[in-house]
Amino acid sequence: MDIGSIIVLVVAATVLVYGILIYNGLVTLKHNVAKAWSNIDVVLKQRHDELPKLVEICKQFMAHEKDTLERVVNARSAVSSAREAGDISKLGPAETQLRRGLGNLFAVAEAYPDLKANANFKHLQERISALENTIADRREFYNESVNRNNVRIEQVPDFFVARWFGFGHRSLLEFSDTEKEDVDVKALFD
């Protein structure tokens, strides 16, 4: 074997090993995104299971707030549908509506001293608030995983390996700007 053939083999082997490393890195990123979504899904399911209990307790005390309770129930249903379908684009807006509804519900509950003093209501309010914080943390981890995936599949030479093997762009889990607005508590009591 002459020196030229050896150089060609070494270069080919180097390119092959480098391609394998890129592929393995992309597989890791893909699975990190899936794991991050699964972590969010678990907490969304837990919150989904807690909300009917909260609404039922509130119904006992808040007969005049049927509209507020219905908005929470409808938003819960929309979140559940989007979660079960794995539809990130629909989950964000549904989450925004649910969070707004819960904010309104907790604000309206302030007008019902017996409800606020109810141990079950307090427990569920704390549980749902803790789940909301967990969702926010996991959403951040999910979006970071998606961002790493999306950046990597757009960079050269990873771009070529990603296209060759069908690694694709993922969507961020984003909530609307209205979620970031303060709830107008005064308007809830007018």
Alpha helices in 155-184 (DSSP H): 158-165
Give dist(CA 46, CA 92) in Å, integer. Answer: 17
pLDDT(188) > 50? no
> Which pLDDT tens digit goes with each residue over 58-78?
888 887 788 888 889 999 999
Q: What CATH number is given for 3-188 in this structure?
A: 1.20.1440.20
pTM recorded for the entire structure = 0.76
Mean pLDDT of the chain: 88
pLDDT(184) > 60? no
Mean pLDDT confidence for 29-48: 94
